Amino acid sequence: MARQLMATKLQLISLCHGYVHHTRDFVRAAHLDSIGMCYAQHVWRALRGRAVPVHVVESLFQIRHNPTELTSSRLLKHRWALFCIAAYMWFVPVAATFPPGALTIAPRPFLSTEQVNALVLNPLLPHMPHISGLGTT
């Protein structure tokens, strides 16, 4: 009876854990999709009312798929809000990949019993008494 109760409890915990992960992934995807739509609306608002070449429009929309486009100084200078939104779209998934628990550092002793020969550059030579004796005569 106790084993069945424990197995049922573990299955419930596993099921809840799976739902939490799926919900987290869904919320993350929905957030990034909403930021992408915000970016697209901001691009069209910035471009409305003026004639621009197609390659400019294409490069503005390419930023969402190519992070190297963020290195454009013209984008940062003229459209800094678009740059900030695009940078946010690229950095959020990177930050979500490394949760705070993965970034903790804990000291632990390093035990090594292996002896290794190490290369020494410019070793002290025995025929140089002023160097090998370190000032003793």
What pLDDT does residue 30 have?
85
Residue 17: phi and psi, rounded to 5, are -60, -40
Rounded percentage of the chain residues whose pLDDT exceeds 70: 68
Please state, in angstroms and rounded to a whole number, the distance separating the CA atoms of residues 31 and 13.
27
Q: Where are the alpha helices (DSSP H) in 48-126?
A: 54-62, 73-78, 80-97
Query: Does the pLDDT of residue 135 top 60, yes or no?
Result: no
Degrees (nearest 5) of the Cα angle 32, 14, 7?
Answer: 175
Q: Could you report the per-residue pLDDT of 44-73, keeping only the tens digit for each? A: 888 887 888 888 888 888 888 888 888 877
- For the entire predicted model, the pTM comes to 0.55
Contact 84, 92 (CB under 8 A): no
Tokens 């490069």 correspond to 59
Average pLDDT, integer, range 59-88: 83
Count the Cβ atoms, other than its own, within 10 Å of residue 43.
19
What is residue 54's predicted lDDT score, i.e. its pLDDT?
85
